[in-house]
A and B are shown apart, each in its own frame.
Chain A
Amino acid sequence: MNKIMWTRSAAITAIAMLTAPTALANGYRERHVQVEVAKSTMRVTPVRDWNSLSIRPGKKAETWTLDGEQLNDVTFYAGIAPGEPLIRESSKKHTPLPKFTSETLLVEIPELLEGTYRTEKGIGAFSVTGSNPDHFLGHDGIRFTYDYVDRDNLPRKGEARAAVIKGQLYMATFDAPRLHYFDATLDDFRILTDSAVL
């Protein structure tokens, strides 16, 4: 019951923290320059300038953005091996994340992402809205869409492409508020991921 007041304090504190200087070196991803992503052999060649965030959601993941990750978030996952989660687990023991396995079928990749988001964010409203066969990194893959209400109470939409290559999962996701930002950057995401090679 006292949650509300605490939550408010938390928000205030968070804002106070934001104004404190932190040495973050976000990267610059210049157009027409091929670059490796997520510390892997996956490479993309952007046709417009992007930023890569220095804070990465996991060892094998990397986030790019145009206006900040709350407004447009492209995350690459590269070489996720069987038994591994998509992102860093905040507590391996107490809140384990779903794992990619050698039995995971392409059609089940949306469920893996859904479970990861729900578990990590503790949210209830999430639904996969479509999934279709796709080519990604020159392999047969899947392209799927979803929507959810994130912890900041802002409804978001997402599109993702994935392929399983030599038993490892490669995926790129795009998340943005459903108001304006999703539609505004969807084509950029598609063009960017079309350029991906291994």
Chain B
Amino acid sequence: MKFLGRAVVTCLFAACVIAPAAGQERTATKGGFNLASQSGKTILLFRPTVRVGVQSTGGMFEPNADWTDQARKNIDDALAKRQQTLGNKVVAAPVSYGEQAQLVEEYSALFAAVSQSVIQYQFFVGNRLSTKKRDNKADVFEWSLGSGVAALPGAKDADYALFIWNKDAYGSTGRKLLQVAAAFGGVGVTAGEHKGYAGLVDLKTGELLWLNADGAMGGDVREIDGAEKRVGQLLEEFPGSVQPKLASAQP
């Protein structure tokens, strides 16, 4: 623990002045998969991970419970609204306890590991694994959680599972001032951090049908319009969805 504290503080600080490089892919769909609108499918939504807060001048994340609650509600509402354009039914996964809950947790951990692998070894072109490179030429996106997902609570009454992970840190005034000052010194400082990923999993086969992961998302999730835009981005290129131009969409 002692050495961890030191290492973390140092790199936390280092990270706050190094702007992460852009230039990687953000989304992929399994070849041949198409979710037709109004096809009567049911999508099981696992409780989204939502964290909203402020980024302090020094780059620390300051959680804000009101914003998080507001964002969670806004995102839920936006998802509900989005259903019409998705053309399919989205239902919340049932609350579970004991072994069932542990299974959900284990699959969430697996989903996180798979998502990280996709980001690290497929979306990040410079680091793409050779086999994935070759696969990609044939436009193949093959990742899976395994057919065991059928045992997840609520799975038997649904076709797909949707996992959503979202984190927003809005730049504090101090952080924004720092950003401006830093620009004069030629140092790149980012103000705010808006990351999210969403994935659709086939509840029969466990295949990852679609994944969207973005380190720089738009839309203020604290506002209803903003949350709609965010959900729009999270579900960008969601297979088969009618892509409406949301009124609130801004560049």
Contacts and interface: CB of A to CB of B under 8 A. Distances in A.
Q: Do chains A and B touch in the complex (CB under 8 A)?
A: yes
A180 B117 CA distance: 15
Contact of A51 (B8, B24, B129): B129
A57 interface: no
A19 B129 contact: no
22 contacts: A6-B4, A6-B5, A9-B12, A12-B15, A16-B18, A19-B20, A19-B21, A19-B124, A20-B20, A21-B124, A23-B126, A26-B130, A28-B130, A49-B134, A51-B129, A67-B117, A67-B121, A67-B129, A68-B116, A152-B113, A180-B148, A183-B146
Given A9-B12, A19-B24, A179 B107 contact: yes
Contact of B127 (A6, A26, A65, A67): A26
Nearest to A10: B8
Contacts of A177: 110, 113
Given A68-B121, A180-B148, 19 more contacts: A3-B1, A6-B8, A9-B8, A10-B12, A12-B15, A13-B15, A19-B124, A21-B124, A28-B131, A51-B129, A51-B130, A51-B132, A65-B129, A70-B117, A71-B113, A154-B113, A179-B145, A180-B206, A184-B144
A50 B131 contact: yes
Given A68-B129, A154-B109, A177-B110, A17 B144 contact: no
Contacts of B67: none
Nearest to B145: A180
A154 B106 CA distance: 6
B11 interface: yes
A125 B55 CA distance: 36
Interface residues of A, number: 40
A126 interface: no
B92 interface: no
A187 to B, nearest CB: 15
A153 B109 contact: yes
Contact of A21 (B106, B126, B147, B215): B126
Contacts of B107: 179
A149 B11 CA distance: 27
Given A21-B126, A71-B113, A180-B146, A10 B106 contact: no
A51 B132 CA distance: 9
Given A68-B117, A154-B110, A13 B12 contact: yes
Contacts of A16: 15, 18, 20
Interface string B19-40: 0110110000000000000000
A20 B110 contact: no
Contacts of B195: 15
B1 to A, nearest CB: 6
Contacts of B131: 28, 49-51, 66
A179 B129 contact: no
A8 interface: yes
B117 to A, nearest CB: 3
Of B107, B127, B148, most buried by chain A (CB within 10 Å of CB) is B127
Nearest to B147: A180
B21 A13 contact: no
A12 B126 CA distance: 22
A49 B130 contact: yes
A23 B5 CA distance: 28
Interface in B107-150: 107, 109-110, 112-114, 116-117, 119-121, 124, 126-127, 129-132, 134, 143-148
